[in-house]
Structure 1
Amino acid sequence: MSETPADLKYIETHQWVRVADDGTATVGITDFAQEQLGDIVFVEVPEVGATVNGGEEAAVAESVKSASDVFSPVTGEVLEVNEKLEDEPELVNEDPYGEGWLFRVKLADAGELDGLMDATAYVEHAASEG
């Protein structure tokens, strides 16, 4: 099974969120998702200042195989996007939980995290699809 960090929260569409102490949340796609997509050649991220909604499309990842919507696990205002992905979209394949992050948001409601999966639940979910 792919790598699945225990300190993150996950959603069924294979995105993760890491919440910092200051209430900002970093979002990316899981190792399972990048393996399914194959070599990622382009990533379209939301604009800084935009509002993303939990469970709704927020970005697009295009691979040599297909284009896939990326859903935001949480609702909030986009504070930062990973500008490295413009020139190095392969970072999502190489380091999906690190350098391959997509965007950061200011959480609108920290309570929203309670409805997300932990690593154990996500691994079971991904295994059922794999």
Structure 2
Amino acid sequence: MIPEDLRYTAEHEWLAPADAGVFKVGITDFAQEALGDIVFVQLPEVGAKVQAGDSFGEVESTKSVSEIYAPVSGEVVAVNSALDGAAEVINADPYGAGWLVELKADDPAAVDALLDAAAYQELTTNS
């Protein structure tokens, strides 16, 4: 099930509006399923500047280590500290408690250029 109210990247990150110009970011159910059991997540510090398309962290599973890419450019304003020592929350609830960071977007309109649920569904069906 792909939530209709989120935006997505081809690298399997999702964005949800959190506040004016601020977006929660996480990895999709498709991504966590492909990774398998997630055991560790490395996230940026609050205040870090990120550029759209650049790696800003890593998710480590029992199978591999995968980069997390910034869906939009901006500043990290919150990090999900609940994942420290409990990264498996991403597997259990990737669209809820398993969120990774909150980003204050440099250009909130850039979110509109990301994939909607139907386009992301098509991407994952064909991969």
Which residue identity is paired with 1:74? V
For the residues of structure 2 that align with 1:47 and 1:29, how far apart are their CA atoms?
18
CA RMSD of aligned residues (A): 0.8
Q: Give unpaired runs (5+ residues) of structure 2.
A: none
Q: Which runs of 5+ in 1 are unaligned?
A: none
Greater mean alpha carbon deviation, residues 82-91 or residues 30-39: 82-91
Cα offset for 1:117? 0.3
Structure 1 residue ranges, 4+ long, deviating more than 6 angstroms after superposition: none
Aligned counterpart, 2:29: 31
After superposition, give the CA deviation of every residue in 1:46-99 in whole Å (9 maximum; x if it has no partner): 111001111111110000000000111111110010001112100100000000
Alpha-carbon deviation of 1:114? 1.9
- The aligned counterpart of 2:68 is 70
What is the identity percentage for the equivalent residue pairs of Structure 1 and Structure 2?
A: 50
CA separation in 2, counterparts of 1:21 and 1:80?
Answer: 12
Partner SS for 1:121:
helix
TM-score, normalised on structure 2? Answer: 0.97
In 2: Cα distance, 1:103 partner to 1:20 partner: 11
Partner in structure 2 of residue 125 of structure 1: 123
Counterparts of 1:74 and 1:15, CA distance in 2: 11
Of 86, 107, 123, the match for 1:88: 86
> How does the TM-score come out when normalised to structure 1?
0.95
Q: Which position in structure 1 is the counterpart of 2:104?
A: 106
User: What is the alpha-carbon distance in structure 1 between the residues aligned to residue 11 and residue 86 of structure 2?
Assistant: 23
Following the alignment from structure 2 to structure 1, what is the Cα–Cα distance between the partners of residues 112 and 104?
16
Q: 1:21 Cα shift?
A: 4.1
Counterpart CA distance in 2 for 1:21 and 1:44 is 24
Letter in 1 for 2:103: V
Which digits, 9 at most, give the CA deviation of each residue in 1:87-113, with x for residues without a partner? 210010000000000000111101211
SS in 1 for 2:20: coil
Larger mean CA deviation between 59-68 and 21-30 belongs to 21-30
In the other structure, the counterpart of 1:79 is 77
